[in-house]
Amino acid sequence: MKAKSLHFSKGGDVQLIASEIGVKLQCVCDQIPPAYPCENEKVIFIGVHMNGKLPGAVDHFCKDLNPGRTKGVAFYVINNTGNTAGLDGIIETMKKNGVETVAAPLGVAVKSSLFKKGYPTEDDIKNVVEWATKVAQG
Protein backbone atom coordinates (compact mmCIF):
# COMPACT_ATOMS: atom_id res chain seq x y z
CA MET A 1 0.00 0.00 0.00
CA LYS A 2 1.25 3.46 -0.85
CA ALA A 3 1.17 5.65 2.23
CA LYS A 4 3.30 8.24 3.99
CA SER A 5 3.43 9.23 7.62
CA LEU A 6 4.29 12.92 7.89
CA HIS A 7 4.63 15.05 11.00
CA PHE A 8 5.19 18.60 12.16
CA SER A 9 6.02 19.77 15.66
CA LYS A 10 8.65 21.95 17.19
CA GLY A 11 9.19 19.67 20.17
CA GLY A 12 9.32 16.24 18.51
CA ASP A 13 6.26 14.84 20.28
CA VAL A 14 4.43 14.05 17.04
CA GLN A 15 7.44 12.27 15.57
CA LEU A 16 7.08 9.50 18.16
CA ILE A 17 3.67 8.61 16.76
CA ALA A 18 4.53 9.22 13.10
CA SER A 19 7.49 6.85 13.35
CA GLU A 20 5.34 4.08 14.80
CA ILE A 21 2.78 4.53 12.02
CA GLY A 22 5.64 4.24 9.51
CA VAL A 23 6.86 1.01 11.10
CA LYS A 24 3.40 -0.57 11.37
CA LEU A 25 2.32 0.36 7.82
CA GLN A 26 5.80 -0.12 6.35
CA CYS A 27 5.79 3.34 4.85
CA VAL A 28 8.03 6.38 4.74
CA CYS A 29 8.02 8.63 7.79
CA ASP A 30 9.21 12.20 7.27
CA GLN A 31 8.75 15.71 8.57
CA ILE A 32 6.79 18.44 6.81
CA PRO A 33 7.92 19.55 4.33
CA PRO A 34 9.04 16.06 3.25
CA ALA A 35 12.43 15.46 1.66
CA TYR A 36 10.74 13.96 -1.40
CA PRO A 37 7.34 15.03 -2.76
CA CYS A 38 4.36 12.76 -2.37
CA GLU A 39 3.41 10.87 -5.52
CA ASN A 40 0.43 8.56 -6.05
CA GLU A 41 -0.07 7.89 -2.34
CA LYS A 42 -3.25 6.16 -1.24
CA VAL A 43 -3.21 8.06 2.03
CA ILE A 44 -0.98 10.56 3.78
CA PHE A 45 -1.13 10.59 7.57
CA ILE A 46 -0.41 14.08 8.87
CA GLY A 47 0.42 14.48 12.53
CA VAL A 48 0.65 17.99 13.90
CA HIS A 49 1.00 19.67 17.28
CA MET A 50 -1.39 22.62 17.21
CA ASN A 51 -3.78 24.62 19.34
CA GLY A 52 -6.47 25.96 17.02
CA LYS A 53 -4.22 27.25 14.22
CA LEU A 54 -2.54 25.08 11.63
CA PRO A 55 1.20 25.85 11.44
CA GLY A 56 2.20 27.66 8.22
CA ALA A 57 4.42 24.86 6.90
CA VAL A 58 1.58 22.32 7.20
CA ASP A 59 -0.95 24.72 5.69
CA HIS A 60 1.32 25.38 2.70
CA PHE A 61 2.08 21.66 2.22
CA CYS A 62 -1.62 20.72 2.31
CA LYS A 63 -2.63 23.47 -0.12
CA ASP A 64 -0.23 21.97 -2.68
CA LEU A 65 -1.75 18.48 -2.48
CA ASN A 66 -3.70 17.21 -5.48
CA PRO A 67 -5.02 13.84 -6.71
CA GLY A 68 -1.69 13.10 -8.43
CA ARG A 69 0.06 13.28 -5.08
CA THR A 70 -2.52 11.54 -2.89
CA LYS A 71 -6.05 10.24 -2.92
CA GLY A 72 -6.63 11.11 0.73
CA VAL A 73 -5.33 12.60 3.94
CA ALA A 74 -5.90 11.62 7.58
CA PHE A 75 -5.00 14.14 10.31
CA TYR A 76 -4.17 13.54 13.93
CA VAL A 77 -3.60 16.45 16.29
CA ILE A 78 -1.70 16.59 19.56
CA ASN A 79 -2.35 19.27 22.17
CA ASN A 80 -3.35 19.62 25.83
CA THR A 81 -7.05 18.92 25.18
CA GLY A 82 -7.16 16.64 22.13
CA ASN A 83 -9.15 19.32 20.29
CA THR A 84 -8.92 19.19 16.49
CA ALA A 85 -10.33 22.69 15.92
CA GLY A 86 -8.52 24.64 13.23
CA LEU A 87 -8.54 22.02 10.47
CA ASP A 88 -11.83 22.92 8.77
CA GLY A 89 -10.33 25.51 6.42
CA ILE A 90 -7.55 23.31 5.11
CA ILE A 91 -9.87 20.32 4.78
CA GLU A 92 -12.20 22.46 2.62
CA THR A 93 -9.27 23.72 0.51
CA MET A 94 -7.98 20.19 -0.07
CA LYS A 95 -11.48 19.03 -1.03
CA LYS A 96 -11.66 21.79 -3.65
CA ASN A 97 -8.30 20.53 -4.96
CA GLY A 98 -9.70 16.99 -5.28
CA VAL A 99 -8.11 15.51 -2.14
CA GLU A 100 -10.45 13.91 0.38
CA THR A 101 -10.09 13.58 4.12
CA VAL A 102 -10.41 9.82 4.55
CA ALA A 103 -11.17 9.85 8.29
CA ALA A 104 -12.38 12.28 10.89
CA PRO A 105 -9.38 14.02 12.47
CA LEU A 106 -8.17 12.28 15.60
CA GLY A 107 -7.31 14.34 18.67
CA VAL A 108 -4.70 13.20 21.19
CA ALA A 109 -4.66 14.93 24.58
CA VAL A 110 -1.11 15.15 25.90
CA LYS A 111 -0.77 16.97 29.18
CA SER A 112 2.11 19.34 29.71
CA SER A 113 2.84 22.00 32.26
CA LEU A 114 4.39 25.42 32.18
CA PHE A 115 7.86 23.96 32.77
CA LYS A 116 7.58 20.45 31.34
CA LYS A 117 6.63 19.41 27.82
CA GLY A 118 4.22 16.52 27.57
CA TYR A 119 4.82 13.52 25.35
CA PRO A 120 2.38 10.86 24.15
CA THR A 121 2.12 7.78 26.32
CA GLU A 122 2.49 4.23 25.05
CA ASP A 123 -1.32 3.99 25.07
CA ASP A 124 -1.62 7.21 23.04
CA ILE A 125 0.79 5.87 20.45
CA LYS A 126 -0.95 2.50 20.34
CA ASN A 127 -4.37 4.15 19.87
CA VAL A 128 -3.20 6.34 16.99
CA VAL A 129 -1.42 3.44 15.28
CA GLU A 130 -4.59 1.31 15.56
CA TRP A 131 -6.62 4.21 14.11
CA ALA A 132 -4.11 4.62 11.25
CA THR A 133 -4.19 0.90 10.51
CA LYS A 134 -8.00 0.95 10.22
CA VAL A 135 -7.85 4.04 7.99
CA ALA A 136 -5.22 2.41 5.75
CA GLN A 137 -7.31 -0.73 5.39
CA GLY A 138 -10.16 1.59 4.42
pLDDT tens digits, 27-58: 999 999 999 999 999 999 999 999 889 999 99
pLDDT at 97 over 70: yes
Q: What number is the average pLDDT over the span 79-99?
A: 95
Q: What number is the average pLDDT over the span 69-93?
A: 95
Q: What are the sequence ranges of the domains in the chain?
A: 3-121
Check if CATH label 2.40.50.140 holds for domain 3-121: no
Q: How many CB atoms lie within 10 A of CB 92?
A: 11
Nearest to residue 58, comparing CAs of 15, 99, 87, 95?
A: 87
Q: What is the pLDDT of residue 128?
A: 97
Strands (E), 50-130: 70-79, 100-101, 106-109
Cα(74)–Cα(91) distance, rounded to whole angstroms?
Answer: 10
Q: How far is CA 79 from the centre of its chain?
A: 13
Query: DSSP code of 126?
Result: H
Instruction: Find out whether 46 and 60 touch, Cβ atoms under 8 Å.
Output: no
